[in-house]
Structure 1
Amino acid sequence: MTQEIGTLSPSALLEVLDELASLVDNAKPVFMSQDVRVDRQALVGLVDELRHGLPSAVERSDELLRQAQDELDDARRSGEETLAVARQRALELVEQEQVVAQANARAADIVAEAEQQATKLRADADSYCDARLESFADDLATLTAQVQAGRAKLAERLGPDAGRPRWDHVRDPEWPEES
């Protein structure tokens, strides 16, 4: 396999490893031993390819892993921020609802208090009017008694036969002449 050193892709690295394994598997065995004879130049060439290609592939893998971790961290932060905003909004809505409920309760208390005051004011006004009317009735009774007493006095002076004078029979008084 011939690729430029230092630019091996992950699949190219696997191919080099496969070639290395194939080289060992296909090597000629040494007589009466488990050892094998391998083409030194081919083996060194494959190991050099791995030695030069593996660090860049590992770096590339590390970079991809860092990018993935950064994206995961960003997503996690974004999710936590979204969750925090949602919790804050939920709290605001709950507080707003509590404020509305408290305002409604306070308004109901104010209305009830106003109705109680209005009932008391009506009762006080009715009592005042009743007292004034009773006072007027007493004054009228006193005035009626005075009028009746005055009429009785007048009837005594006039006598039983006096009757009422007719105004059309009353003579004009004589007035002194002007000088």
Structure 2
Amino acid sequence: MSEASAHGNHPDTETLLKRVHEIIAGARPMPLSASVMVNKDEVVGLLEETIERLPEELRQARWLLKERDEFLAKVQREGDDILEAARVRAERMVQRTEIVREAQHTAHRTVEDAREEARRLRLEAEDYCDQKLGSFEIVLDRTIKTVQAGREKLRVTPMPAPPAAEELGISEETPEEAFFDQDQLNRP
């Protein structure tokens, strides 16, 4: 799938969510913890952009449904036209005395063929729309699961407040000369 969608150079929601996943999966782990360090602004920005893109993809789904309805209506009209033409043809044939039986047989066959053709077209249209909607449902389901997983990973317990300067042995009188001793943090 391309990074760019029908919106020019803007990535689609699935691409954005994959990027969030890559950021979190590739983030540097925190020592002695299951937590990772991520750039909050970058991840939140990607998630906000994903949320903005969802309405466009939902609009496309509604458009597909509208297209399906219009196609089904067109097929129904064509089927009705075929049936009407068959009825008119049958009535004309009935008026001819010598070929009445043949006309009735042909008319019935024409009507049945028209019904079968209309039914076949309707079923094909429904199958096509169902496949497209099924694919879209899968993409939306993955998108929702990815967003939920991303949000869950971003929920971390608040970090404890940093120790006061006195606890670290730093004099407040000379902050520029203070030395940070990481080993002192690990001592009980």
TM bucket, shorter chain: 0.3 to 0.5
TM-score (norm. length: structure 1): 0.43
TM-score (norm. length: structure 2): 0.41
Higher relative CO (Cα under 8 Å, sequence separation at least 6) belongs to 2
Which has the larger share of helix?
1
Q: Which has the larger radius of gyration?
A: 1
